[in-house]
Structure 1
Amino acid sequence: MTTATVSPMSGTERYLVIGGAGFLGSYIAQALVDRGEKYVAVYDLNKPGESDIIDGVQYFCGDILNEQQLLACLKSTSATVVFHTVSPVHGLQESVYYRINVEGTRTILLACEKSPVKAFVFTSSASVVSTGQNISGLNEKQVTIPDGKYEAYTYTKGLAEKMSLEHNDPYGMKVAALRPCGMIGPRDRQAMWRLAETYQKNQHKYQMGDNTNLVDYSYVGNVADAHLLAADRLAGSASSSNAVAGQVFFITDGKPRPYWDFPRMAFKLLGDDGKGITTLPYVLCVFMAFLSEVAAKLFGGPPSFPMFIVKLATLEQYFNIDKARTLLGYEPRVSFEEGVRMMVEWWKKQGEREHIEMLESKRRLRR
């Protein structure tokens, strides 16, 4: 695996990746080890599976809402650079997002301020600026986090981003926030699992909207590179840290494409011939989502076809990454096409087996 450029400070910092057993977090930990860092630790609710354990990484299990566990980990690792990558998946109850994104981030920040942490990189999301309207190529100054709540995940992520930046201290812990777009790559246990299930159920011949809306994607390793670049500058000289501290950065592959290009490419690699696609009109999708959300309110639980998914598939959402290129020196290494290919290859070799084992485990628990 090609990694980010070796930092001139390599070997002098001590790194802690909170959420490092997750998708992006594991790539950050791997990139640090690959470039020769000797002190890399992960703090996560669960230890990763055997196949995902990274040699040279120290693993700590704990809850981000438990300040004492965090403080113990920070003390044990003597971490000077912290990455906060924890993020719940979409489709959960609102209370989960407030607890993890808001309360969890607050607890992490307080623990870091009581420790010798000098650089803190928060993983936000490009979706924090979403309002249900098209966004076409805007930069960090042209679009801001809305005051109102569009959707629970994005709203609470936005609150956590603001909170993190408020803890930026010119004389203490320097903070930067990165806003990645939708990430793809091996070990993706969310989007890839949904795509594979859609394909296996023969539902892949349908699409919402006419596929003219452009969106951003990025290979997860590229996003990990951006995190290392931000951390290096925050922990570096006064001039480099001052230019980045307190800043937010959109992170994408810099090449927006129609929304359905990603699933169509994945379906093709899974064996689809690409023919016979049925386009569901936007108005019909909105009506179906409305009925789904009404049913959810009547009978409880999350909607099976939320309006958020319709918006996600039909809105134009892509961003300008010139700021990341200029201040971080960020440049995507791996192309979208290569990222999708590697992701599907991983699924065929390992991911599908994991998915089957997970479903079997759930069935046994229900018996």
Structure 2
Amino acid sequence: MAIPINSNYNIEEICSTFGIEREDFLRLISGKQEEPSNLKTIIEVIDEFMGTVKKSNKSATTISYYASFLSQFKSFLNEVDPSIDLLGLTEVLFNEFILEKCISRDGGSLSRGSINTYQSIIRELLFFSLIMKYINIDLRPRFEKLTTDILPRYIPDDVASNIIIKSHHTSRPHLNNTIIIFLLGTGCRLSEVTKLRINQFDVLNNLIFIKKSKGYKDRYIPMYPEVKNIVLSYLQRTGIKEWNRNNEKSLFTKGFGEDRPPLSNKYIQRTVKSILKEIQMDQRFSVHSFRHTFAVNCLKIGMRIDILAQVMGHKSIETTRVYTKLLPHDLKNDVMEKFPFPFEKLMQKLIPNGGATNGETN
């Protein structure tokens, strides 16, 4: 028998007290949530948020601090993917920004206190977005106060091998498999991969030339045999029968032959996220995790940290030193005993069947 409920609550009074719309309150008590129709990019909201900060009663020094941090964050987002929306503002993305872009005044990594201050600004940004109804859920719990240092997340060998295997079963198996192996074997940033030209993949000298982008220097990355063979196989399948140092067409593309429009950052992000989601690792890793993985693997095989800093394109060697914290002392000793250990042996371990793939031509 149903029990009758007599409610004395005045819905209008509750809505007035808490400053919410009647429809929003009814959705809340019914457990229903409506997707925001005006979901904005992080960059768009940063600009709006700074407008309110400048009009607030914060001190001039504080406003300047906010502006400096958010300007750096915007620059990072423009390089990674300017179209990332508010729901894409995750702990992983924030940590990548901290590890890649932020250094202290003495050239070292940021203190835990500075990172927590940055996180408090991000929480304010998310609260502003909630008030403005750009999001309908409170994302601030994603950015809790740090109690330990931020360390880069690198992909273990067994997970990396699984990712490579899964790439064979995507809609464009050869293209996606080649990209995954290229990311693992070069440590390139996402924007560097999509901008890469055929003539920068120098098969004669076994070097990959990375042209400077905003804030970075030109650099060369060693071309390991497994990466070289798989990329050359991909080029042949996409209509490039021989490498030519004068060919300035895009290295990676959905096109064929000389019709080679560059891939978008979003394409690679979606492809990687889809694979990671399939193996239930999408909340732990991202495209940038492949870069961290390359760095850790280079340390495992005994690469000198100053050389690794140059290969990675780090402005400060202190940024590179962060990776050494991921290696336990016994592993460090083991690394040095085996030095020099060919990187290609590690790649052979990761790539099943030499990276051979079946399926579409691109």
TM-score of Structure 1 vs Structure 2, range by shorter chain: under 0.3
Question: Could you tell me the TM-score, scaled by structure 1's length?
Answer: 0.27
Relative to total residues, which structure has the larger strand share, 1 or 2? 1
Question: Could you tell me the TM-score, scaled by structure 2's length?
Answer: 0.27
Relative to total residues, which structure has the larger helix share, 1 or 2? 2
